[in-house]
A and B are shown apart, each in its own frame.
Chain A
Amino acid sequence: DTEVTQTPKHLVMGMTNKKSLKCEQHMGHRAMYWYKQKAKKPPELMFVYSYEKLSINESVPSRFSPECPNSSLLNLHLHALQPEDSALYLCASSQDAGEYTGELFFGEGSRLTVL
């Protein structure tokens, strides 16, 4: 069983909708990540939070807005998305903070479809 929990598992939204993806971890990790994965492609990094502060933004369009309310929670707010934003959105966490690490614990993902 994964220790990173993502909700919802599936989300269908129109281009004018506002929705949010949620992620929670209780491993005491201090770094949390959002990745985007298209079919048959590797995950692409979007954002990194370290000690609840945004430390990396991989030039992601402003229609994606991350939020880290506390060290256990990570949200991704979605607004005015395009059909090409349809993908599997993965949340991950890692023990280290202040320095990026490659040993990531991923959630099962939220499958997003934009109509």
Chain B
Amino acid sequence: EDQVTQSPEALRLQEGESSSLNCSYTVSGLRGLFWYRQDPGKGPEFLFTLYSAGEEKEKERLKATLTKKESFLHITAPKPEDSATYLCAVQKIYGNKLVFGAGTILRVKS
């Protein structure tokens, strides 16, 4: 059965304290892995798409990487405005629906 597991469930960081979020997946035939950011009471905001192992994408303080079993979202020198829930989702080959992980709630304190 297709599964996406995110860890940790919640993460508290001090401003400037770098860390990583993990998304591990078991899927037969991965088309792509996607990262989203969601602020409370709002819709998710698309961040990155990763298609193949070894691929990396960067945006401001965020960097996403992909292996054959997991993806990491690295946050460098986070700021309070990076506080949000980060969701990862996988899509199988042949256009199946997205399977979302439960998310990691990130809180960055100043």
Does B41 touch A at the CB level, under 8 Å? yes
A103 CA / B91 CA spacing, docked (Å): 10
Q: Are A90 and B43 in contact (CB under 8 A)?
A: yes
Residues of A within 8 A of B (CB): 2, 4, 41-43, 45, 48, 56, 58, 88, 90-92, 99-109, 111
Task: Give chain B's interface residue range (CB within 8 Å of chain A).
Answer: 20 to 34
Q: Are B97 and A105 in contact (CB under 8 A)?
A: no
Name the segment of B62-70, B75-83, B100-108 touching the other chain.
B100-108
Interface SS, B side? strand
Q: How far is the CB of B4 from chain A (nearest CB, A)?
A: 9
Name the segment of B14-22, B44-52, B53-61 touching the other chain.
B44-52
Does B110 touch A at the CB level, under 8 Å? no
A105 CA / B91 CA spacing, docked (Å): 16
Our pick among B43, B101, B102 for the contact of A108 (Cβ within 8 Å) is B43
Does B28 touch A at the CB level, under 8 Å? no
Residues of B within 8 A of A (CB): 31-32, 34, 41-46, 49, 87, 89-91, 95-98, 100-103
Q: Are A56 and B97 in contact (CB under 8 A)?
A: yes
Q: Are A43 and B45 in contact (CB under 8 A)?
A: no
A111 CA / B45 CA spacing, docked (Å): 17
* In the complex, chain A residues whose CB is within 8 Å of the CB of B46: 103-106
Q: How far is the CB of A14 from chain B (nearest CB, A)?
A: 23
Our pick among A41, A58, A100, A107 for the contact of B43 (Cβ within 8 Å) is A107
